[in-house]
Structure 1
Amino acid sequence: MKKLLSALFLISSLVGYAKGFQVITLGSDGGVIDGNISGYLIRDKGEENFVALDAGTVIPGIKSALEKNNFSGLSIPKDTEWSDTGYIFREKIKGYLISHGHLDHISGLVISSTEDTKKDIYGLKSTIETLKNNVFNWKLWPNFGNEGEGFKLNQYTYQELKISEIKNLNGTNLKVTPFSLSHSNYESTMFLLENNGEYLAYYGDVGPDQVENSKGLEETFKVLGPLIKEKKLKAIMIESSFDSSKEDKSLFGHLTPKWIDEEFKVLEKYSGEGSLKGLNVIITHIKPSLKKNDNMREKIKKELLENNTYDVKYYFPVQGESLEF
C-alpha cells in the first residue's frame, strides 16, 4: 500500500508539474536615475537557473528581490563564502540576453563584471560588435570578452544570434529566437523565449513602425499571432517610455500608450479579433520625470488602463518584484 501511494504521489507530481516562467525585475525604469534601469531575470519555473534580459541594473535588483523574498525557492549552500546576493549573481545567472548596446541596457553588466563568473553574452551581431568594440576594449573597460582588442580575459563568451534562428541558452532549459527591431534607426531586438512549448516575448527599446519607417514590430507580430491563437504566448514585455503627450519627433525610438494601442491593432490582425483579451502585457522602460508633481509611471498606467481597447492584462512591475506566468 505504501509503495502504491508513493507511486500515485509521484505520478500526480509529474502531472501537476507547473510549466511556465518566472520574471524578476532587476530594473524597471528607462534611465535618468541610476540603480533601477532596464534589467530582468527569467527562468523556467521548474529549474533554478536564470538568464538576464538586458542588464542596465543587476546587483541592486538582486538585493531588492531578496528583500522581497522572491528567491525563496533557490538553493544557496550554507558553506558558500558569498553573500546571498553574490551567490545568485555569480552562480544562478547563466547568461545575458542583450537587446542592444545602449548604456541603460548594459551598465549593470559592465560595472559588476569584475565580480562575475564565466558566462555567455547573447545578442545580434550589431549588439556584440558594440560590446566588443566600444565597451570591453581596455579604453572604456577591460576586455572581459573572448574577442576584441588587447588581452582577452575570456570571462564572457560572445554568442552571436541570427535573426529567426532558435538558440539553446546554456545552463538553462530555455531557448531563444531573436528578431530585429528599429530603435531610432538603431538595431534593437525582440527575444522570443521558449520553455516546454510555452513562450514569452521580450522587446528591447523600439519605436512605432510608422514613425521608424520600419516593419520590425509587424514582423514580430506575424510570429506572435499564431502563438496567441494557440494560447501558447504567456506574456509580452514591451516598453512605454513616455506618456502620449510626447510628440512623434521626440520619441527617439520609443513607444507611448497611444502607440501601444495602435501597434496592438496590427498584432490583432495576425492573432484574430478579440484574441488579445486577457493577454499578459508587462510594461517596461518607463522614463521617470524630474519635474515637480509629474509621475510618469502613474500617467502611463492611467492611460493604458483607461484606454484598454483590447482588454489585455497590464502589469507595471517595480524593482525586486516577481511575476509568474
Structure 2
Amino acid sequence: MAEKAAFQVIVLGPTGGPREDNVTGILVRSTATKWSPNSVVAVDAGTLLAGIIRLLERSIPEHRNEKGILTSGPFQGLELPFETAQANAAHIFRDLIGAVLVTHPHLDHISALAINTPILEAGNGPKSVAALPSVLSAIKNHMFNDVIWPNLSDEDGGAGLLTYQRLVEGGNPRFGRGESRGYVNACIGLLTKCLSVSHGRCKQRYNPESERHHRIGSTVFADHQLMVPSVPSRAISVDHTEGSFFSPSGSPRLMPSSQKEPPMATVESSAFFLRDLRTGSEIIVFGDVEPDSVSMGTCNRQVWEAAAPKIVTGKLRAIFIECSYSDSTDDAYLYGHMCPRHLVFELSVLANRVLELRDSKPGVKKRKRELARPATTGGEGLSPRSKRSLGDSAEKSRESEPFLESQLPRSDPFEVPQIPRMDGGSGSGSGDGPSVETPNPESWADTTPLPLEGVRVYIIHVKDSLADGEPPGVQIIEELRAHGEAAHLGCEFLLPNPAEEIWI
C-alpha cells in the first residue's frame, strides 16, 4: 500500500483542545520526494515540535538501523542525523518542513508557530507561512507584533525568520496549467489551492487596505444570555466606536435604540486542496468550519463544487475535516464547528453534486435526482438540524468507469463557481440562516458505485472532554458511520492515530 500511495500524512495533533500539546497540526508530503529538504508541508501549527518529538521518542533507538534510518513508525525511511529525539525534531522543523499553511488564526492552530520559530536559523532562509490575507493580517498584527511575541517575520523590521505568502482565495489563475491551474507551490512535490470557509460569526471587520481587523464584538458570546448583566453593578461602560472591544454592556439587547448595531461578519477559515505533483492525486484539509445550514453564506458548497469533479475522476482520495462535537450538542453550542448530523448533511451535498457530474458524462443516461426542499420537523425531507438517520442502508456491488475531468460540462473544470452568498440571522436553529436545499439520499440508494465510494474522511479537531470513559471521538465516529450508511454515501470515516502514518 505504501509504495502505491501518493501522500503520507502525519497527524501530530488530532484534537481541538483543551490539552495544549495535542491541538491541530498535520504534516503532509509527497511519497515521491523521499524526505528531501523542503519536502514536507505543515497544515496548521497548534502542535509541531512537541508532536514530532513525541513520535520520535517512540522510534529511537529501537527502530533505527545502522545507517540511522528509521525502519518503522510515522517517520520511517527518514535518515536521522542526530542521536536525540529533540535534535532530530529540530532538524525536521528547520530543514524538511518547507512551509506552514495556516487555515485560520485561532491559538489552537498557530501557537506552535510562535513558540517553535525561534529555533530557525536565518542562514537557511525564512520559513514560508502561507494563508489567506485576513489570516496573515491577524498573525502579523496580533501575534508577531513585538507585544504578544517578537516580530520574527521579514516585514516591518522583523528578525526575518518567517516570510508571509498571501494566497488568492479560490486559487491564482496566473499559476499552473491544465489541471494544476490556480495551484501554487506548497513544498517540494506538492501544490496547493485555498478556499475560504466560515468558522462562525463575530462583529469584526478585516480591512484589506489597512490589513487590520477592526473588532467591535465578541466572537462567540455576543448574544449569549449568560453574558448579559443581571444587575447594574456588572455593567461595564465601553466605547462602541470601531475598534473597541466587547463587554457585557455592549450586548445588542442593551444598546440604546438610537445606536446602529453593526452587521455580523463571518470568522474566516480555510480549506486547502493539496495536489501531488507526480500523480495529480489530491486531498483536502479543512480548518475549523461550520455547516452552511447555520452559516451566513454557502462557502462549503463552493468547496464541494471544486471537489466533486475530482471525485468523479478518482483524483480526490481523502478529506481531513473537523467534527468537534457529538450529535448531543445543540446548534447554539457548536460555536462554528461541526457535529455528525451536519457533517453527513454536508457530504450529502457533495455526493449529490458528484452524481450530477456522473450523469453528465457522454453516453450516460441521465437519472432523475430529486432534491428535498429545506424541511421542517416531521417532513419527509431531512433537515440539516435533524438528529434522525438519513434512510436505510443496502449493500451494493460497485463498479466505476474511468473518466477524465476535462469531460465535465464546464467552460473551465478547475474554476470554482461563484455562488451568491446570502445573509442570514443567528443560525441558532430558528431557520433564519441561508436556504440550503436538502439532498435526497434515497434517490441514489441503488447507485453503483455509491457517490463517495473510495473517499476516506478523516476526523480531526475532536474536542476532548478529559473525562472518564470512552473518548468523545468514539461516539462521534459511531454516529458518523450510522448517518453515512443511512445516507448511502459510500465513504469511510476514520479517526487518525498520531502514532501511525497515513498512506493515501
Give the TM-score of the pair, scaled to structure 1. Answer: 0.90
Of 86, 93, 96, which aligns to 1:92? 96
- Of the candidates 475, 497, 500, which is equivalent to residue 299 of structure 1? 475
Matches within 5 A, 1:177-216: 177-184=193-200, 185-195=266-276, 196=278, 197-216=280-299
Structure 2 spans left out of the alignment, 5+ residues = 60-72, 172-181, 201-265, 356-443, 445-449
- In structure 2, the residue matched to 1:308 is 484
SS class of match (2:197):
strand
- Alignment of structure 1 residues 142-221 onto 2, 5 Å: 142-148=150-156, 151-165=157-171, 166-169=182-185, 171-184=187-200, 185-195=266-276, 196=278, 197-221=280-304
Which residue does the alignment assign to 1:56?
46
Q: Indicate the larger mover: 195-204 or 161-170.
A: 161-170
Query: Which range is displaced more, 78-87 or 132-141?
Result: 78-87
Structure number with larger C-alpha Rg: 2
Deviations 1:73-95 (A, max 9, x none): 12333699972212112111111
- Percentage of pairs with the same residue: 33
| Aligned residue in 2 for 1:9 | none
Q: Secondary structure at the match of 2:93?
A: helix
d(CA) in 1 for partners of 2:151, 2:491: 43
Deviation at 1:32, TM superposition (A): 0.7
Greater helix share, structure number: 1
Deviates more, 1:270-279 or 1:176-185: 270-279
- Contact map agreement 2:183 2:193 (CA 8 A) in 1: yes
Q: CA deviation at 1:112?
A: 0.9
Deviations 1:238-273 (A, max 9, x none): 100000111111111100111111111100121115
Compared CA separation, residues 139 and 261, structure 1 to 2 (3 A): same
Q: Measure, in 1, the Cα distance between the counterparts of 2:297 and 2:164.
A: 28
What's the CA shift for 1:107?
0.7
Alignment of 1:120-131 (within 5 A): 120-131=128-139
For 1:315, give the aligned amino acid. L
Using the TM superposition, name which of 124-133 and 79-88 deviates more. 79-88
In the alignment of these two chains, the number of paired residues is 308
Residue 247 of structure 1 aligns with which residue?
A: 330
Per-residue Cα deviation, 1:140-179 (whole angstroms, up to 9, x for no partner): 000111224xx31111110000012134335411111100
**Alpha-carbon spacing, 1:306–1:269, altered in 2? closer, same or farther (3 Å):** closer
SS at match of 2:342: helix
Q: Secondary structure at the match of 1:62?
A: helix
Paired AA for residue 482 in structure 2: E
Instruction: Give the Cα separation in 1 of the matches to 2:190 and 2:87.
Output: 27
Preserved contact between residue 26 and residue 41 of structure 1 (Cα < 8 Å): yes
Contact 2:301 2:349 in 1 (8 A): yes
- 1 or 2, which has the higher strand percentage? 1
**For residues 18-75 of structure 1, what are the alpha-carbon distances to aligned partners after superposition, in whole Å with 9 as ceiling and x for unaligned?**
4511000110100211101000000001112200010100012112332252212123
**Counterparts of 2:98 and 2:467 in 1: how far apart (Å)?**
39
